[in-house]
Structure 1
Amino acid sequence: MTMAEARAHDRKRWLWPMGFGIIIIVAVTALTGWYTGITPLIFAGPLMVYVIVPLLDFFIGKDSSNPPERVMQILEHDPFYRYSTYIYVVVQMGLFIGACAIAGTQDLTAWQWLGFVTTIGMLSGISINTAHELGHKRTWLEGWLAKIALAPVAYGHFYVEHNRGHHSKVATPEDPASARMGESFWAFLPRTVMGSLRSAWEIEKATLARKGRSVWSVHNEVLQAWGMTVVLWGALMFAFGIELLPFLVIQAVLGASLLEAVNYAEHYGLLRKKREDGRYERCQPEHSWNNDHIVTNIMLFHLQRHSDHHAHPTRRYQSLRHFDEAPELPTGYAGMIVLAYFPPLWYRVMDKRVVAHYDGDLRQANLQPSARQRLLKNYTPSATRENAAA
């Protein structure tokens, strides 16, 4: 089979460049708002993430098609897909520096400043996903591009913790990035941020110790990533003024929280069983929430096909597959983020799905310890059957 014939099986092929196309549109909209004085346009970032993309997901719908097995390897080696992620990093870095230049040198009103910081915060958060795609690959270039993409948001430890921590502990109580049923996003956020920091440091410390190296060395990948942030932020403040620091910090907080809102949705309430030897079973499709809404998948390079990603972490986004047996989110990640911010709405939408996934037996789910007794009482198998009958 030729490359051209294989490409024909990817129905979204010419949509993938919209990954960086979307952030260009957002940036142009924000700049237009600043130049014309139409301040609401400067808030293009949050409007895109919280309103426009969820609506587009709803109206455009899903694509659950998979590329045939015979074309997988051809698609995997097609450079077109790699270049889309490479260009994304270049575009995102240019937009980030441009926004910092405006925030640091222009006389902005409070609303204009807030618009730029929230917009660039959203773009920084989305760029973590591109870093995620690149960070799983085995080439030197993609590894460093992943660290570069993480530098603006000061979340470089994600490169270590996600690859060597989350992927081994996913859907277990020990994983700081796997949310528990009954745990609100606002409780999950500090737990995952601090837990991921500790996990990344301990992983790298143990790795270096096995090689006979000190944790305080240039070989520490966590320190490498943090060092890139220090250099980038330092250069920007040198160029545009120390007054830029609050802008940098706030956009980083917004970007990191956007990533963690996605993490919250990806494995909420799902639990891998322990084997007789005390180790957890291998991660299966049923241990990740999936979704096939097209717009969010284009924006996030197929991240919502999360089960296949955990089964094959190095597989490139264009080859990730839909699994019928994987639990399904009611909408794309963009819409789920909005729900996550409002815990009563989140519980109303998601808890019944966790219950259904485990056939009413929540003893099989990953439960928030403080909510465990209440959840087991409210969702006993008998009560679940009665509610279903009603």
Structure 2
Amino acid sequence: MLRRFTHFIGYLSAFILPLLFLVSLQYRSYWVGLVPFYALVIIPLLDHLSTPNHNSLKPKEAFPLGFYQFILVAWTIIQTSLLLYALIELNAYPPSSLSEGLFLTWSMGIITGGIGITVAHELVHKKETWAKQAGAFLLSSVAYTHFSIQHIEGHHVLVGTKEDAVTAPRGTSVYRFLVRAIPHAWLQAWDIEKRKLERKQKGVWTYHNRMLRYMAGILLTFGMFLSTAYFVQGFVHPFLFVFMLGQAIVAFSLLEMVEYLEHYGLTRQMKGNRLEPVAYHHSWNSGHRTSNFFLFQLQRHPDHHGDWMKWYPYLESKTESPQLPSGYPAMLVLAAIPSLWFKVMDPILDEYLKGRD
């Protein structure tokens, strides 16, 4: 019972970020650094101080699934409310300096990208209509709704190949990867949808095209957020446009940086005339306890590729997969310094691949 309870409570750690952002918004000054400090310093430190956890809960050992689904719904509501409140507050009291505006925008992007897109990723994979719709809404708030097409129908099929928009070859820096991955992911999603419509003999420039609907949804979502500030206060400060666009850029850049971590240097090989199937050794795993709770088990990525319909509390840590030396937050910091990334990760990658030969 205690293990089940602590397992459930652990997932609530993500909700600390909105509270920290409210403090940043209220007190400004050096408080605007609270969110990145917690996400990129405190979480990695706690990962370092705790032992990796490769245990998993079976459905019969956990609380009913609805408890874990409620957390995702609660996050969707809280993130939406936080973004609306931030826009209203910043409309009335815009940043007093460039650094203040940058940190507040960065902080919101960490929330909407680091956690929000993680939640959206979990939801768009599922068959339930409410889950897909909630996931799509979260993605529309960061202008990245095409992810639901590219990720499921592109990445999961092509992972570990040159055709995949978001598999990083060995020796590629995260910055070079981002320049390619962000536009390529959109183009790949468009191509997937175009070919699907052609097979169904439906027009590309019609309502049947999900990409067109998604783009319209992004405009409506951004319009809804900005118009709320206008209706409350009768005007819209120019900074709000910068804030909305900036947090979206931070959010989807974080997403693609995470995809860089997840498959760096791991490729699928030809076996005879066929490409080998996706397996656990095509994704990096991390059993670091704190960041796994913080990110809803996203770091158990090999098992996700093995069964992407499995809900997050039941994902297993695959010890036969290549292992990241830390959780995603610390690895993001490392990836931001390519020389250090290559120095740390390339030997680990080479040793793992050598052991598989």
Q: Please, what TM-score do these two structures have when normalized by structure 1? A: 0.84
Amino acid at match of 1:294: R
1:32–1:193 CA distance, 2 compared to 1 (3 A): same
Give the corresponding residue for 1:62: 52
1:116 to 104, 107, 116: 104
Give the corresponding residue for 2:80: 93
C-alpha displacement of 1:149: 0.7
1:48-87 per-residue CA deviation (whole Å, 9 max, x = no partner) reads 22212111211233211123xxx43675962101111111
C-alpha displacement of 1:13: 2.0
Deviates more, 1:137-146 or 1:148-157: 148-157
Give the corresponding residue for 1:141: 130
C-alpha displacement of 1:263: 0.7
2:154 to 162, 165, 170: 165
Amino acid at match of 1:115: F
1:264-321 per-residue CA deviation (whole Å, 9 max, x = no partner) reads 110000011113233x211111111010111211121100000000000010001101
Task: Measure, in 2, the Cα distance between the counterparts of 1:13 and 1:163.
Answer: 27
Q: Aligned pairs, how many?
A: 348
Task: Measure, in 2, the Cα distance between the counterparts of 1:215 and 1:130.
Answer: 30
Summarize the alignment of residues 156-305 of structure 1 with structure 2, pairs less than 5 Å apart.
156-238=145-227, 239-240=229-230, 241=236, 243=238, 244-278=240-274, 280-305=275-300
Measured on the aligned residues, the alpha-carbon RMSD in Å equals: 2.0
Give the corresponding residue for 1:81: 68
Give the corresponding residue for 1:376: none
Give the corresponding residue for 1:154: 143
Task: Measure, in 1, the Cα distance between the counterparts of 2:221 and 2:160.
Answer: 35
Max Rg structure: 1
Give the corresponding residue for 2:43: 53
Amino acid at match of 2:326: T
Q: Is the 8 A contact 2:10 2:294 kept in 1?
A: no
C-alpha displacement of 1:45: 2.3
2:34 to 44, 51, 55: 44
1:156-195 per-residue CA deviation (whole Å, 9 max, x = no partner) reads 1111100110000111121111111000001000111011
Q: Is the 8 A contact 1:96 1:152 kept in 2?
A: no
Give the corresponding residue for 2:321: 326
Deviates more, 1:140-149 or 1:203-212: 203-212
1:51–1:86 CA distance, 2 compared to 1 (3 A): same
Give the corresponding residue for 1:372: none
Q: Is the 8 A contact 1:43 1:118 kept in 2?
A: no
Task: Measure, in 2, the Cα distance between the counterparts of 1:217 and 1:22.
Answer: 42
SS at match of 1:291: coil
1:104 aligns with 2:98: no
Task: Measure, in 2, the Cα distance between the counterparts of 1:242 and 1:223.
Answer: 29
Amino acid at match of 1:233: F
Give the corresponding residue for 2:233: none
SS at match of 1:12: helix
Q: Is the 8 A contact 2:12 2:294 kept in 1?
A: no
1:10–1:183 CA distance, 2 compared to 1 (3 A): farther
Give the corresponding residue for 2:312: 317
Q: Is the 8 A contact 1:76 1:316 kept in 2?
A: no
1:282–1:24 CA distance, 2 compared to 1 (3 A): same
Task: Measure, in 2, the Cα distance between the counterparts of 1:265 and 1:25.
Answer: 28
**Structure of greater relative contact order (alpha carbons < 8 Å, 6+ residues apart):** 2
SS at match of 1:359: helix
Q: Is the 8 A contact 1:103 1:247 kept in 2?
A: no
C-alpha displacement of 1:258: 1.0
C-alpha displacement of 1:32: 3.8
C-alpha displacement of 1:208: 1.9
Give the corresponding residue for 1:349: 344
C-alpha displacement of 1:360: 7.7
Q: Is the 8 A contact 1:22 1:299 kept in 2?
A: no
Give the corresponding residue for 1:369: none
1:322-359 per-residue CA deviation (whole Å, 9 max, x = no partner) reads 11211100000000000111100000000001110111
Give the corresponding residue for 1:358: 353
Q: Is the 8 A contact 1:76 1:319 kept in 2?
A: no
1:2-46 per-residue CA deviation (whole Å, 9 max, x = no partner) reads xxx7x9557512212333x22233223313423xxxx11122222
Deviates more, 1:73-82 or 1:323-332: 73-82
Amino acid at match of 1:251: Q
1:282–1:76 CA distance, 2 compared to 1 (3 A): farther
Q: Please, what TM-score do these two structures have when normalized by structure 2? A: 0.92
Question: Mind listing any 5+ residue stretches in structure 1 that lack a counterpart?
Answer: 365-390
Task: Measure, in 1, the Cα distance between the counterparts of 2:63 and 2:308.
Answer: 13
